[in-house]
Amino acid sequence: MTLPYERYRAVSITRQFLADLLDAAKTPKVPRSVRQTAARCLRHYPQEYDMERAAGKCPDTFAQEWPVWDRP
């Protein structure tokens, strides 16, 4: 079962991964077609602002932080 904070984190990490694919300094030797696909995906990918709004309106789906009862 995926928890709301795990879902939020997965979207954030994926956004950063796609952004890193666009940066040749961070990810050398990546084919142009992969960089172009990453750029197309990021064009409409939710930004941090969008995720914050989603977490505020749908806390059962997205949560910015671990729930207090589940922290290590």
pTM: 0.84
Residues of the chain with pLDDT under 70: 67-72
Give the model's pLDDT for residue 64.
Answer: 86
Domain-embedded: residue 8? yes
Give the model's pLDDT for residue 21.
Answer: 97
Domain-embedded: residue 20? yes
Give the model's pLDDT for residue 70.
Answer: 57
Domain-embedded: residue 69? no
Domain carrying residue 53: 4-58
Give the model's pLDDT for residue 1.
Answer: 82
Give the model's pLDDT for residue 39.
Answer: 98
Residue 10 to residue 16: CA distance in whole angstroms:
10
